[in-house]
Homo-oligomer: A and B are copies of this chain.
Amino acid sequence: MQPENRSGDQVRRSFIEEARRAQIVRAAIETIAEIGYAKASFAQIARRAGISPGLISYHFAKREELIMEVMFSVYGSMDRALSDRTEDAASCTEALRALIENFVRYCADHAVEMLAVARIAASGANDAAKARDWVDRGREEALTELEEMFREGQRAGEFREFSPRVMAVSVLAALEATPVELIARPDTDIDAYADELATMFELAVRRPGD
């Protein structure tokens, strides 16, 4: 669901270095989710990680690199979680439901990460420009895949006639709105939420009368 991975960053890194990088990325995610991108200075992130600000620069050449690592980390994990499970769908309707339910459940377990990347993408900061472009490309790919799925469902006579693009945009918007809602209302029944969403779009795409 995301674009090509990190170009050619085939840098050999020791185990300990990888661990530090992961720790810093984790601290960055939490800090951004909690206080927002603009206030997530190296000082804040370092404080949360229990290290010194200089160490972040030691491990990441530029702030941009750290932010991109956040992206790779979050979307990598998300892609792994979602891709396994959407394959074996018997119909487009089932595939759509599976996609929505899996995504919502993933959000429930990773709301902080989702919030962090959303904040990065939304921030107009210079350091986040590359990340934003990357997210935008990823979003466009996701939209294309969704459109393709809708077109297939229409070809198969499973879905009614509608604009695959508008439907894709709306499904994606509804999905992306989930983390904020789950954080705002932590008591939300996840399965019910997922089912509501899936049902809503099932009704929106199915042939009338089916």
CB-CB under 8 A from A123, the residues of chain B are 36-38, 122-124
A166 touches B36 (CB 8 A): no
Asked if A173 CB lies within 8 Å of chain B CBs, one says yes
8 Å CB contact of A174 from B36, B119, B169, B208: B169
8 Å CB contact of A169 from B37, B125, B166, B181: B181
Asked if A32 CB lies within 8 Å of chain B CBs, one says yes
* A171-210 interface (Cβ within 8 A of B): 172-174, 176-177, 181, 192-193, 196-197, 199-201, 203-204, 208
Asked if A126 CB lies within 8 Å of chain B CBs, one says yes
Asked if A170 CB lies within 8 Å of chain B CBs, one says yes
Asked if A167 CB lies within 8 Å of chain B CBs, one says yes
B125 touches A166 (CB 8 A): no
Given the interface pairs A119-B124, A122-B122, A123-B124, the reply to whether A166 lies near B200 with Cβ below 8 Å is: yes
Asked if A163 CB lies within 8 Å of chain B CBs, one says yes
Asked if A39 CB lies within 8 Å of chain B CBs, one says yes
B38 touches A125 (CB 8 A): yes
Instruction: Give the distance in Å from the alpha carbon of A36 to the alpha carbon of B196 in the complex.
Output: 34
Asked if A60 CB lies within 8 Å of chain B CBs, one says no
* A144-175 interface (Cβ within 8 A of B): 162-163, 166-167, 169-170, 172-174
CB-CB under 8 A from A167, the residues of chain B are 196, 200
B199 touches A162 (CB 8 A): yes
Asked if A40 CB lies within 8 Å of chain B CBs, one says yes
B162 touches A200 (CB 8 A): yes
14 further contact pairs, Cβ within 8 A, besides A118-B122, A122-B122, A163-B196: A35-B124, A38-B123, A39-B124, A119-B122, A166-B193, A167-B200, A169-B174, A170-B174, A170-B200, A173-B174, A173-B177, A174-B174, A203-B208, A204-B204
